[in-house]
């Protein structure tokens, strides 16, 4: 059977800053620049699932189910959140777009299954996104 | 470990026309149609770099370095120029989206951290975009 890919778009807004506690203020500013100041983004998350077409429903996946899963696991957690205070970014993990997309992958992958989740594309703003396909 | 792909989108505006010196004016007009006339676009260029995350900074490629390289070797060379006439590095290149993506790759690859460039896409209009992933790219599903 042919594999088909379906992508659904989600949005959430969150705040963050880049800062390493064990570094001096000068070192933080040198490496992270203006990202050391608290700021925020309207993130856009494209979730791509893959699979064969169910002959009965004609669908790869019920996108309503996908909306519920992502809504519960990701949007409810991160929308209007301070990412630096989230447990995923405790212990010195900087809430970069890379680390955030990996965190979201680890939240969704157990719910969707490794074979179904194909790609996450996380847009920080309209000029920049990070893609992750798992390890 | 696993790879992250970071894509940054840039803009430039430039003039161009499609005309091959190997063809007669009649053949150029027939083959390229309206694109044979001098015109221009608000181009977008997407530059994708890849790599693993540095555990200290949380970043895989420093976007400041990418921005500076793209500005220096690409945008400064083409923004508000006539791609078909006033860019010496494009002499002899028919400035189709395909050729621009390939040439931009050769400009960007040596200017970026080694081995990190994954993709160059030239978005000519909302309806046309052209992607180049280098010679080594192997297709692995839609990206």
For an interface test with B, give the residue of A98, A117, A133 to mutate (most B CBs within 10 A): A98
Tally of structural domains, chain B: 1
**Residue-range domain boundaries for chain A:** 4-132
Instruction: Tell me what pLDDT residue B20 has.
Output: 93
CATH code of residue B63: 3.30.479.10
B49-77 average pLDDT score: 95
Distance between CA B120 and CA B1 in Å, rounded?
24
Weakest mean pLDDT among A74-83, B65-74, B78-87, B130-139: B130-139
Q: Write down the pLDDT at residue B141.
A: 44
The reported pLDDT for the residue numbered B1 is: 62
CB B49 within 8 A of CB B118: yes
Mean pLDDT of all residues belonging to chain A: 95
- Cα A15 to Cα A18, A85, B59, B112: the distances in Å are 11, 10, 17, 30
In whole angstroms, give the CA distance from residue A134 to residue B116: 18
pTM for this prediction = 0.85
* % pLDDT > 90, chain B: 91
More confident residue, B136 or A84: A84
B21 belongs to a structural domain: yes
Residues A117-126 as b/e (b if ≥16 CB within 10 A, e otherwise) read bbbbbbbbee
Q: Is residue B50 part of a domain?
A: yes
Q: CB within 8 A of B78, min separation 6: which ones?
A: B12, B14, B43, B87
- Residue B55 is predicted with a pLDDT of 92
pLDDT, chain B, mean: 92
| CATH class label, A4-132 | alpha beta
Please indicate whether, in this complex, the C-beta atoms of A18 and B58 are within 8 angstroms of each other.
yes
Domain of B31 in residue numbering reads as: 4-132
Smallest CA–CA separation between B13 and chain A, in Å? Answer: 17
Which residues of B fall within a CB distance of 8 Å from A5?
A: 141-142
Q: Is residue B138 domain-resident?
A: no
- Residue B139 pLDDT grade (very low, low, confident, very high; cuts 50, 70, 90): very low
Confidence tier at B142 by pLDDT (50, 70, 90)? very low
pLDDT confidence tier of residue B135, bands split at 50, 70 and 90: confident
Q: Tell me if A134 and B9 make a contact (CB, 8 A cut-off).
A: no
- pLDDT tens string A86-124: 999 999 999 999 999 999 999 999 999 879 999 999 999
């Amino acid at each position: 059977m042919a594999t088909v890919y379906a992508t659904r778009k989600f949005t959430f807004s969150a705040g963050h800053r880049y800062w390493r506690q064990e570094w001096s203020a000068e070192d933080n500013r040198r490496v992270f620049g203006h990202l050391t100041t608290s700021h925020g983004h309207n993130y856009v998350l494209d979730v791509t699932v893959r699979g064969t077409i169910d002959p009965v429903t004609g669908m790869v996946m019920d996108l309503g189910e996908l909306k519920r899963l992502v809504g519960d696991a990701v949007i409810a957690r991160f929308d209007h959140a301070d990412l630096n205070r989230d447990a995923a970014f405790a212990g010195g993990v900087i809430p970069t777009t890379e680390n955030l997309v990996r965190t979201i992958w680890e939240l969704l992958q157990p719910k969707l299954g490794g074979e179904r989740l194909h790609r996450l594309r996380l847009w920080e703003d309209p000029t920049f996104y990070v893609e992750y396909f798992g390890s | 470990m696993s790879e992250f792909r970071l894509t940054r989108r840039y803009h430039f505006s430039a003039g161009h026309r499609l005309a091959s010196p190997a063809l007669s004016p009649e053949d150029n007009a027939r083959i390229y149609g309206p694109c044979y006339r001098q015109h221009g676009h608000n181009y977008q260029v997407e530059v994708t770099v890849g790599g693993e995350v540095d555990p200290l900074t949380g970043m895989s490629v420093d976007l400041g370095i990418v921005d500076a390289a793209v500005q220096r070797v690409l945008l400064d060379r083409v923004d508000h120029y006539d791609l078909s006439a006033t860019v010496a590095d494009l002499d002899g290149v028919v400035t189709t989206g395909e050729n621009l993506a390939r040439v931009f790759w050769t400009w960007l690859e040596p200017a970026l951290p080694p081995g990190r460039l994954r993709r160059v896409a030239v978005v000519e209009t909302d309806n046309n975009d052209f992607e180049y992933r280098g010679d080594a790219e192997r297709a692995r599903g839609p990206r």
